[in-house]
Amino acid sequence: MLEKDKLRKADVFSGAAVFLFGLWVLSQALRMPMKDSWGGVMNVWYVSPALMPLFIGAVIMLLGVLLCRMGLKTVGLDAFKETLGFLVSADMRRILKSDTCVRFYAIAALFLTLVYINLPRIDFFLCAVLFLMVFITMFYFLDDCLLRRFLIFYLAGEAVLLVVFALGFHRSSGEAPSPIPDLLALAFIAAYAFYVRVQLRARPELKRKFRIGLVVSLATPFVIGTVFKYFLMVPLPREGLVAWVLDYLWYLEFL
């Protein structure tokens, strides 16, 4: 959590955002049937689906105004103007580029790319290996310089995947899903591992950590995936190359 004085300044902005959100909720609620006919039933105000959203929107708006007012009252108008100036200053840009912020961007980017780009199109096991390998190598070495390099490499790889998916190369022509996304993911994993290895050439003290990270990121998806797929009978988000191999081995053994 932020410090108290920073919190009060932030309250002015978050209060304003909350007020605008409440206003939006209210505007959406006003479009809902109040006294009109819906599904053949004539509405009265107290059964209207808009009743609760109207109440919520109004209260959120009111609380937003109160929070904004409290923030302004505490920090004063001059300090608020200073804060506005700070937001567009070079200091703010420096903060946004700070190590702590980059760590946040890295975590957010990892989750967003996993959920919105990889999981719907790439085999779960490969997605998970890539996610864990990048995540662990970024944070386990406790080196922000390396983290930045790994993040750029990872984002570049994801950009390539995004282009491939946008051009539709991952779509299958027949019944079986196309193996192209999985092969690309495999290549990406190998390239990333190679890149990390190259980066660690001058850092022998981190090589052991890399090996541990590699083992964890390769073993964990197989444990988790196998438990969910074969013991809990949960179909994985996308089953591709690795899932087919595992299926083959599993049913070869148990049939």
Partner 1 sequence: MIETFDIYLHSLAHFAGSPLHLAILFGSVLLGIIFGALPGLTSTLGVALLTSVTYGMDAATAMVCLLSIYVGGTYGGCYSSILINIPGTAASAATALDGYPLALKGQAGRTIGLSTTASAIGTIISMLFLVTVSPIILHFALQFTSFEFFLLAFFGILISGTLTTPDLVIKGWISGFLGLFLAMVGRDRLQFYPRFTFGIPELDSGIEVVPVLIGAFGIPQIIQVLKDRVEVGEMQKLQRIVPEFGTIVRNIPKIIRSALIGVGVGVVPGIGEDIAAWVSYGAAKNTSKNPENFGKGEPTAVLSTEVANNACVGGAIIPLLNLGIPGSPPAAMLLGALMLHGVTPGPMITFEHPTFIIECAAILLLASMAMWIVGMTLARQVVKVLRIPAPLFMPIVGLLCIIGSYALGLDLTNLYLMIPVGIICYFLTEMGYPIAPLVIGVILGPMADENLRRALMVSQGSFWPVFTRPMALGLLLIIVWLVLVQFPAVKAFKDRMVERVSRKLKRHRPGGPPLGEPRGSGPTPKDHRLP
Stretch that binds partner 1, among 133-141, 165-173, 191-199, 239-247 (CB under 8 A): 133-141
Q: Does 232 bind partner 1 (CB under 8 A)?
A: yes
Q: Does 145 bind partner 1 (CB under 8 A)?
A: no
Residue number, 138 or 186, with CB nearest to partner 1 = 138
C-alpha 223/C-alpha 150 separation (Å) is 26
Q: Does 115 bind partner 1 (CB under 8 A)?
A: yes
Residue number, 125 or 188, with CB nearest to partner 1 = 125
C-alpha 130/C-alpha 116 separation (Å) is 14
Q: Does 66 bind partner 1 (CB under 8 A)?
A: yes
Site string for partner 1, 21-60 (x = CB under 8 A): ----x--x---xx----xx-x-xxxxxxx-xxx--x--xx
Q: Does 18 bind partner 1 (CB under 8 A)?
A: yes
Q: Does 234 bind partner 1 (CB under 8 A)?
A: yes
Which pair of tokens denotes residue 26? Answer: 């209210």
Q: Does 254 bind partner 1 (CB under 8 A)?
A: no
Residue number, 64 or 157, with CB nearest to partner 1 = 64
Residue number, 159 or 227, with CB nearest to partner 1 = 227
Residue number, 32 or 160, with CB nearest to partner 1 = 32
Half-sphere CA count of 218, side-chain side, radius 13 A: 10
**Nearest-approach distance from CB 132 to partner 1, in angstroms:** 5
